[in-house]
Chains A and B, each alone.
Chain A
Amino acid sequence: MTTACQVPTINTDDLILREYRETDFEAFAAFGASERARFVGGPQDRWSSWRSFMAGIGHWTLRGYGMWMVEHRQTGRVAGRVGMIFNDSWDEPELGWHIYDGFEGKGYAFQATHAARAYSAEHFGLDAVISYIDPENTRSVALARRLGAQFEREGRLLGTPCHIYRHPREVRR
C-alpha cells in the first residue's frame, strides 16, 4: 500500500513553499532551540524538534493540508514555515507562520503567508481562517494586521491564553 502525502509547491517572487526534506531539519531545530520559538511552544530540545518535524509531515497525510517549508530561492536556505495547522484541540484550522533567523524584516513573511492563505482558500476550502497569536508577539500581531486579519476574541490554545485573529475571505462565495 502506498500512502500519498501530496505537498503542492507554491512559487512567489522570492520564495518557494514546498514539502519537507530531511536536509531542512538543522534549520528547523535551530529555530526550535532559539528564543524565537517562545511564542510557538518553544524553545525545545533537538529531540522534541525532531518529533515536531515528523508531526509536520504527518499532518499533511492526516488532514490533507499542513504547513509548508519556505525556501529562499536566491540562497536555497530555509527561511521558515507557513501554512495551515489543525491539530486535535484546535477550534478550527489556523494559518500559522514561523520565520527563521535572518529572514525577518524583508517582507518574506507577508509574501509566504499571503500565498499560503490564498492557496488554502482555493484548493483546501479553508477560507476566512483564524490565527492564534500571543498578544505579546507584537511582530506576529503586526503581520496579521498587515494581512488584513482582525482581532476577533480572546481564546486559549493548549492551556495558554491567546488572541484569535480572523483573516478576510479570499474566495468570493
Chain B
Amino acid sequence: MSLTLTIPRLETDRLILRGPEARDFDPIAEFYADERRSWGFGGPMNRADAWRWLATSVGHWALHGYGFFTMELKETGTACGLTGLWNPEGWPEPELGWILFQGFEGKGLAREGAERAREWAYLDLGMTTLTSNIKPGNDRSVALAERMGAWYERTYHNVHLGEDLLYRHPAPAALGMTGGTTSRPEATA
C-alpha cells in the first residue's frame, strides 16, 4: 500500500513551482535561523525544528492535496522561496502564503509565484476564496497582499502565532478566472 502525493509543477515567466524535496532543507534552515526574515512565518527556529517544518509541509500535501511549493528560478534552478496554500489543524481557512530566501527580494518574485499559486487554487482546485494571514507589523507582506488585490478583513487569534491579520483575496470571478476550468485559460483558449 502506498500513499501517493500528487504535486504539480507550475510555471511562470521566471519561476518553476514544484513540490518540496530534501534538498530544500538548507535554504529553509537558513531562512528559519534568521529571525528578521522568519518572524512572520512561525520563526525563528533551530535546524531540528526547521527539519520538522519541512517534513510537515510534505505531509500537508498528502493530507490536504495542496501545500507549499518550492519556488525555483528557471534560469539557474536555484530555490528562491516558497509559496502555496496552508491549512493545518486550527487554521481558520486555507491561506495563500509566500516567503523569499535571502537575496531574492525586491525582484517581484513573491508576487509572480503567489499569483500563480492563487490561480492554481482557483482554477485547478476549484477554491472560491482565499485568505492570507499576516503578522501585525509585517508591512512587506501586507503591501504584497494589497498589490494582489487583497484587503484587510479582520484580526483573529492564530493557534500558533497569536494575533494575526486576515486578508481576503478577490474571488475568482473578480480576477477574470471562471470556475470549472481545469487548466490555465491560455491553455484552453
Which A positions have Cβ atoms within 8 angstroms of B? 1-9, 18-20, 22, 46-47, 49-51, 53-63, 87-89, 158
Contacts and interface: CB of A to CB of B under 8 A. Distances in A.
A9 B1 contact: yes
A22 B59 CA distance: 11
B160 A158 contact: no
A8 B3 CA distance: 10
B59 A47 contact: no
A88 B47 contact: yes
Interface residues of B, number: 35
B135 to A, nearest CB: 17
A88 to B, nearest CB: 3
A3 B22 contact: no
Given A47-B160, A50-B90, A89 B5 contact: no
Interface stretch (B50-58, B71-79, B113-121): B50-58
B159 A89 contact: no
B62 interface: yes
Given A3-B5, A4-B2, 20 more contacts: A1-B9, A2-B5, A3-B7, A5-B4, A5-B5, A5-B62, A8-B1, A18-B1, A19-B3, A46-B90, A47-B160, A50-B90, A51-B52, A53-B59, A54-B63, A55-B55, A58-B62, A88-B25, A88-B51, A89-B48
Contacts of B21: 62
Contact of A89 (B47, B62, B89): B47
B28 to A, nearest CB: 11
Interface in B59-92: 59-63, 88-90
18 contacts: A1-B6, A3-B5, A3-B58, A3-B61, A5-B3, A7-B1, A7-B3, A20-B3, A46-B89, A47-B88, A47-B89, A47-B159, A55-B52, A57-B58, A58-B57, A62-B21, A87-B48, A88-B29
A158 B89 contact: no
Contacts of A60: 3
A53 to B, nearest CB: 7
A7 B8 CA distance: 21
Nearest to A45: B159
B63 A5 contact: no
Nearest to B18: A1
B4 A4 contact: yes
Nearest to B89: A50
B19 interface: yes
Contacts of B160: 47
Nearest to B60: A54
A5 B2 contact: yes
A22 B63 CA distance: 7
